[in-house]
Each structure stands twice: as structure tokens, then as C-alpha cells.
Structure 1
């Protein structure tokens, strides 16, 4: 239960970090908003289609982990791009540990 709550919090944080990075760019406001909406929207669609517990396209465990690594990597890269390297590393480590535990817990059990 705690791991599921942490997973959800990390997923939301990932989206916030990507939006924050996009809004901090040195472009016109409409461009920053467009990039933020597009980036967050792409992550939401990617996550919902391939990584969520009720994914529309179920993947083998390795595929799900790869999609999660890509999405969480985007969140960590966004923090890094904002100049928050320690936070980026901490987020990446926490997301990797949480993904490992989630993958272990959800693995199929032999009969």
C-alpha cells in the first residue's frame, strides 16, 4: 500500500517536473505553455497506454520497466535542466527503487 502511494506520488512529481522545466524555458509564454502541455500530455498517454496497472497495451515486465525508465528519466532530466542536479539524482534513485519493488510485487507467481 505504501509503495503504491509512493508510485503515484512519483508519477505526479514527474509530470510536475516536466511542466516546470517547460515553463522555465527562455521562449515566449505561449511557446512555453504549448511545450508544457505537449510534453505532459505525451507522458500521460505513454504512461496510460503502457505503464499503468490497467494499461491498454499490456507489455511484458521488461517493456513496462523500459517505459517507466523513459518517463521517470524525463522527470529527472527536467530537474537536471532546471539546475537541480542533486534533486534529479535523488528522484531517479527513488523512482528506480520504487519501480523495482513494484515489478517484484507484481511478478507472476509459479503455480
Structure 2
């Protein structure tokens, strides 16, 4: 069960980055702005995630703080996805992360 939950966690993390990129590439702006936003938004989220949330994070946070950073990343991606015209997908992405995170935490094995 834990392996399945970790797989889901990885997949929703990838979806989070895709959502941020989708927003940027679908902006009603010039090509340069779309490229900057489409590549920059997921890159910014990935950098924050890598520094605070990855298994090899440079900054080790206590679990509550780590989960808060994760939630902020997912909420940001959800807002961007909603702004790109997909509010239901945005809610689904954030909800799936929250349920998966809760199930992983409930098992007593923080990721």
C-alpha cells in the first residue's frame, strides 16, 4: 500500500509542475512571456520543492513545516491551473495530494 501511495505522490508532484507550466504556456501574451512563464513557474516550484521537500532537501524541516511548504506548492499550482481555465482539475489535483499525504501520514511513515 505504501508503495502505491508513494507512486501517487510522485505522479501528483509531476502533475503539479505540468499544471504550472500549462498556465504559463496558455497565457494570452506574446511568445516570450509564455515561454518565460511556462518554463519559469514550474522551475520556481521545483526549486522550492527541491530545497525544502525532496528526500535530499538542502533545508531539513520538521514534518509540519515540510507539509506546509508542500501545501503551498500545490495550492499555487492549483491556482495557476484554475487561472488557465481548469478549476475542477485544480481542485482535483490539490485534493488528491491532500488525501495521499494524509494516508501516507496516517501510516506513520512521513515521506
TM over 0.5: yes
- 1:81 maps to what in 2? 83
Q: Which residue of 2 aligns with 1:92?
A: 94
1:27-50 Cα offsets, whole Å, 9 max, x none, are 111111112222111111110110
* Number of equivalenced pairs: 107
2:48 and 2:103 mapped to 1: Cα distance? 21
- Select which of 48, 55, 79 maps to 1:46: 48
Q: TM-score, normalised by structure 2?
A: 0.88
**Which residue of the partner structure matches residue 8 of structure 1?**
10
Let me know the Cα RMSD of the aligned residues: 1.3
Q: Give the structure 2 partner of residue 34 of structure 1.
A: 36
Unaligned runs of 5+ in 2: none
Q: 2:57 aligned to 55, 58, 65, which one?
A: 55
| Equivalent position of 2:109 in the other structure | 106
| Contact in 1 for aligned 2:27/2:84 (Cα 8 Å) | no
